Each structure stands twice: as structure tokens, then as C-alpha cells.
Amino acid sequence: MSEHDLVPLSGGTFLMGSEDFYPDERPVHQREVGPFAIDRHPVTNAQYAEFVSATGYVTVAERELDPADFPGADPAALVPGAMVFTPTEGPVDLGNWRHWWRWQPGAAWNRPFGPDSDLDGLLDHPVVHVAFEDATAYAAWRGLRLPTEAEHELAARGGHEGRMFAWGADPYPDGVPQANTWIGRFPYDNQGYGGTSPVGSFPANDFGLVDLIGNTWEWTTDIYRPGHHPAPSLDLSGRPSLLNPEPAGAPRRVLKGGSFLCSPEYCLRFRPAARSPQTEDTGMSHVGFRCAQDR
């Protein structure tokens, strides 16, 4: 992997978060970020295939499940797989995500729709169905790491502090989508891709970075908490501390950037300030990642 895939950023202090949308984006506060570099685009299927070929790595979605981890479950149902987005035939209750998500045995990064699928025509799309462990393993193979939430947000803003969307105040300037998001009625009528798109299909931001908004959500190193915690109580690495303990329950990390499923009528999260929790052991068909590096 060439170092030229990494874009160096000077870091600095910026206003992080938003007061205008979801509660977990609050409060807006000053955040300082040191110099770093970040991948120009999310890791693609071709890049992840190179990693797997070189190392023999097996992703979480491909591993056998231990019945001891799922007390009361039918052992016959405990087979490797992943969560796959499936459009509905018409309008549904948007309060129940189970209408459009299904557990698909055999789905994995190289079989994104199930055991009968493959990566034909998808090599330049973001890799998906990668759990946090899978993403960090790839980053370590490259001698890199995953970005922090603050690094991702600073990069997504492209040097324009305070904008609602990365490109301005309008989600669709002149009616033209600026990122791979859901266009139409969710989750049954999509006039856009309706899935992942080749990286760089939409304009780069002013840092020369693509797909930081839309296409796939992206893993960060930060432990998810339902709101921002300005310094001094925040451990800027994202690790829990005595003043900022890790919440109880399954570990969850912050996802950033939104995905092809983000829609104004359901998920207005294709914005730099937006964030979402994701359990570390769960990969999905709209979650990918990119790498970063200290400088």
C-alpha cells in the first residue's frame, strides 16, 4: 500500500458537534486534533482482498459461533453470517429496523449478499461486513490505525467549520446529491445506488477526500457515549477513563459519516457531526472503514 493513499492534514482546533439535530451530537465544543494523515477513500474490497490473501485473516462474520455465547439459542441457527439490508416492497413502520434488515447466513466481506454472491463488479466499492476487530487488523497490517471520531469529523468538514452538511446548508444543492445517500422513499423506493458505490463516485471535499459522507458508515476508535464530553473529562484517545468511564453492556464504537441508507425522512445523518453506535463484533452491509496515521 502506497503512502500516497494517505492525505496529510495539519489538525488544529475546531468546533465539533451540532446543536440542531440528534441529542448525541451535543454539545458543540472546541476540540483539538494533532497533525495526522487519513486515507483518501474508504478501504475497498480489492484492498481488503490483498490483506486476506497475504495473511489468511478470517473475519468475525466468517467464524463459527460458540453456543455458550448465545444461551437459549437453537444451536442449528448459530451459523456464520451477517446483517444484510433488504429493501421492502412498500411503506413500512420506520420505527422497526427489522423490516429492512435480515440475518443472512453465509454473508461476509467477500460474499456481501449471501453465500451465492461474490465481489464481481464490486472490487472498487468499500469493503463491508467488517467488525471493529477486522478493521483494526487490516490497519495494523498496513502499519496504521483507525481514526478517532474527532479526526474523522475534522476531515469530513474539509476545512469548513460550522456547515450543516459537508458542502453547505442544502442537503441536495440544485437538486444534485453530493454523496451516496438514499434518494426517494425509504426503504422501498431508491433513485440512487441503493447500495454501495465505487469509491470517488461523488465530489471530493476541499481536503481531497472522498466518501467521508455517505456510501458506508466508518469505524472510529472512540467508545460511544450518548453525547460529547468536552475536556477535561474526555480521554481524547477515545479510551475510557476514571472521569469518562465506558458504559455498561456490549462495547460499542462510534461510526461516522452516514451511509447509502441515510434519508431525510428516516436518518438525517449524512453530516460531519452525525454519529451512530455500533457493537464491536457486528459488521453490516453499510459499515466500512478507512485508516489513519499519526504525523
* End-to-end Cα, the chain, rounded Å: 17
Mean pLDDT for 60-76 is 87
How does residue 77 score in pLDDT terms, banded at 50, 70 and 90?
Answer: confident
Task: Report d(CA 77, CA 89) in Å as an integer.
Answer: 26
Residue 193's alpha-carbon distances to 60, 125, 182, 183, 185, in angstroms, are: 27, 12, 8, 8, 13
Q: What is the pLDDT of residue 33?
A: 97
Q: What is the pLDDT of residue 260?
A: 98
How does residue 72 score in pLDDT terms, banded at 50, 70 and 90?
Answer: confident
Percent of the chain with pLDDT over 90: 84
Mean pLDDT for 257-271 is 96
Question: CB neighbours of 160 closer than 8 A, spacing ≥ 6?
Answer: 166, 206
Q: What is the pLDDT of residue 169?
A: 95
Highest mean pLDDT among 223-237, 242-256, 258-272: 258-272
Q: 54 by DSSP, 3-state: which?
A: helix
How does residue 3 score in pLDDT terms, banded at 50, 70 and 90?
Answer: low
Mean pLDDT for 137-151 is 98
DSSP strands (E only) in 41-144: 81-85, 101-105
> Does residue 37 register a pLDDT over 60?
yes
- The predicted-structure confidence for 173-192, as pLDDT tens digits, reads as follows 999 999 999 999 999 999 99
Output 248 or 77, whichever has higher pLDDT: 77
Task: Give, in degrees to the nearest 5, the angle at Cα 220 between 94 and 115.
Answer: 60
Q: How many CB atoms lie within 10 A of CB 280?
A: 17
**Strand-pair category, 6-9 with 36-39:** antiparallel
Task: Report d(CA 287, CA 215) in Å as an integer.
Answer: 9
Task: Report d(CA 33, CA 156) in Å as an integer.
Answer: 13
Q: How is residue 83 written as a grid cell? A: 446483517
Beta bridge partners of 198: none
Q: What is the pLDDT of residue 25?
A: 97
> Does residue 272 register a pLDDT over 80?
yes
Q: Which residue has the cell 440528534?
A: 22
- The predicted-structure confidence for 97-128, as pLDDT tens digits, reads as follows 999 999 999 999 999 999 999 999 999 999 99
Q: How is residue 195 written as a grid cell? A: 447500495
Q: Closest Cα to residue 212, out of 224, 202, 226, 225?
A: 202
Q: How is residue 17 written as a grid cell? A: 458537534
What would the DSSP string read from start to end of 181-243? ---SSTTT--SS-SS---TTSS---TTS--SSSSSSEEEEEEEP-SS---TTSS-TTS---SS
Percent of the chain with pLDDT over 70: 92
What would the DSSP string read from start to end of 157-186? HTT-TT-SBTTBS-SSGGG--SSS---SST
Q: How many CB atoms lie within 10 A of CB 73?
A: 11
How does residue 262 score in pLDDT terms, banded at 50, 70 and 90?
Answer: very high
- The predicted-structure confidence for 197-241, as pLDDT tens digits, reads as follows 999 999 999 999 999 999 999 999 999 999 997 544 444 444 444
